Every structure is written in structure tokens, then in C-alpha cells.
Chain A
Amino acid sequence: MHLSYREWWALIHGIIFGAFFLLAFSGGLAGLWSLRTEWVTAEGLRERVRRLKIGTVTMALAAWGTVITGTWIVYPWYRSKSPDSPKSKLTADPSTADWHEFGMEWKEHIAWIAPILATVAAGLVIYYGPYLARNRTVRNIVIGFFVAAFATAAVAGIFGALITKAAPVH
């Protein structure tokens, strides 16, 4: 059982940051949904908002970490001109070319939308804090950005996993 240097970076990019992102998303969504003045006490609200701030900021940082390591560390190995690179292997065979032409082309661009949307969600949570509990409009806006960040990351993550299965970075 051995992972190469490149495989370690692919692991950090896809699994480590990805796991933090998923964990922060599920906790954050539940926290946002149930953050209502009629459901929590003043003391409970302070604690919930503090946890929500940590969760949304973690999610945004994980999203930035994922795209930065993916684009600037792993992607150059993927797109290398060498005949052994994943891109060269995929595009050499018409039956697998679409993994690059559609899958990777979509993934590499849509992935960068996730940290932007996650940053908007985290920024709104930090700015409004406890006011989120009483202002349903703002809470719904935050949930919208939060879910959109997850959806775009999910597209990138699913294609990343499938492309790695078809042509892994070694």
C-alpha cells in the first residue's frame, strides 16, 4: 500500500478538503434552517451563531483549498503534454475523449464558482450573526448561496472522482 507524491496531493485535493467541505455543509445547512428566534433562547442563539460562523467559514476555506490545490498543483500533472498524462490518455481514445472534452472542461471551470458562493454565504453569516434568526429573507438568501455553493462543488467533485477512475494522476 503506497501513495506517490502526486497521489498524495490528489488525496489532499479531493478527499481531505472535500471531507471538510461536506461536513461543514451538512452541519451548516441544518444550523441555518433551524435558526429561528421562536425555536431558540438568547443563550442558545449565541452558541448556535458561533457554531454557524465556524462552520460556514470552514466550508469556504475548504472550497478555496480544494480549487487552489486542484488548479495549481494537480491540474498541471493532469494536462501535461506527456503521452502518459491522464488528459493524453483520455483524448487519445474516442471512447473516453468526452471525459476530458465535457467532464474535465466543466469541472475545472464550475469548481471555482463554489468558493465564491461559499464566501458570500460565510460573509453574510458573519455580518448578520444573530439577526439571521429573525430575518427570514436574509436567512433564505444565505441558504440559497450555501446550497448553490454545494451544488457547484458537487458537480466538480463527481466529475473529479469519475475522471480519476478513468485516468488517475500517478
Chain B
Amino acid sequence: MATPAEIAPQPPAPAPTSEAEPPSGPAAALILAGGIAVFCMGLVTTLGEASTGIADALQWNDRVGPLSGKTLITVIVFALSWALLTALWRQANPPLRSITIASAALIALGLVGTFPTFFQAFE
């Protein structure tokens, strides 16, 4: 005869947890590439404000102005750094926490670089 514990509805089986995780390298590459790209946006924004020569050089499209160069450079840097770091770390296991902290620092610097009160101080 079944006991009350056996009769009671059983909770659903949890998701399996035994398989090994994929290497952290490709994830670390993406995380760091994101940080590098955001830092790049902050850097070119501040440099464009600091020098009219750089601002002119960033004007890749006359209708859009210097923002065209800033954004395209940032997208190119993002794509290239993502591809290069992925190639470098494809099978590696770099520490994800440290890479994320480094990326967060780059993102913070990038945010400062895109804040008008900061970059307009270089006018």
C-alpha cells in the first residue's frame, strides 16, 4: 500500500545540471568587445570636441556631420575587437568575472566621455 508521501503529487523534475559548460572564451570576447566599443565612443566624442581637425576628420557624411564618423568607428571597433578576441579565446577559459569588471570600467569611462558636461569642457 502506498504511503501518503508516495501518493502526494511530485514536483516536476528540475532541469538537468550535469553537462559541462562551454568555454568562457567566446563570452569573455563579447563582453570585453562591448566595453572597448563603449570606451571608443566616449573617446572619439571627447576627441572630436577637443579638436576641430578631428571633428572634421570624423565628418564621414556631410548631412550627419561628425556623428557619422564617431558611430561608424565605434561599430567597426566593436566588430573587429569581437572577432579578434573570439579568435584569441575560442577554446580558452579566461576568468569571466575579471573580464566583466574590466569591461564595466571601460563602459563607465565611455559613459563619462559621452556626457556633454565632460566633453564640452575640452572645447
Identify B30's interface contact among A67, A76, A124, CB under 8 A: A124
Residues from chain B with Cβ under 8 Å of A40 in the complex: 12, 14-15
Q: Is the interface on chain A under 10, 10 to 19, 20 to 34, or 35 or more residues? A: 35 or more
Instruction: Determine how close the nearest CB of chain B comes to the CB of A138; give it in whole angstroms.
Output: 7
Q: Is there a chain B Cβ closer than 8 Å to A128's Cβ?
A: yes
Q: How far is the CA of A45 from the CA of B31 in the complex (A)?
A: 24
Instruction: Give me 19 A-to-B residue pairs in the complex whose CB atoms sit less than 8 angstroms apart, sorted by A's number.
Output: A37-B14, A40-B14, A41-B14, A41-B15, A71-B67, A75-B64, A76-B63, A116-B37, A116-B74, A117-B34, A117-B38, A119-B34, A119-B78, A127-B26, A128-B27, A131-B21, A131-B22, A137-B97, A152-B111
Per-residue interface assignment for chain B, residues 19 to 55, with 1 indicating a CB less than 8 Å from any chain A CB and 0 otherwise: 0011000110011011001100100010000000000
Q: State the total of A-B contacts with C-beta under 8 angstroms.
A: 107
- Name the one of B26, B27, B100, B111 contacting A110, with C-beta atoms under 8 angstroms: B111
Secondary structure of the A contact surface, majority rule: helix
A131 to B17, CA, bound (A): 8
List, in ascending order, chain B residues with CB within 8 A of A72's CB: 61, 64, 68
B residues at A contact (CB < 8 Å): 12-17, 21-22, 26-27, 30-31, 33-34, 37-38, 41, 45, 61, 63-65, 67-68, 70-71, 74, 78, 96-97, 100, 104, 107, 110-111, 114-117, 120
* Cross-chain contact of A106 among B21, B37, B107, B116 (Cβ < 8 A): B116
Chain B: which residue is nearest A129 at the CB level? B22
**Closest CB in chain B relative to A22 CB, distance in Å:** 21
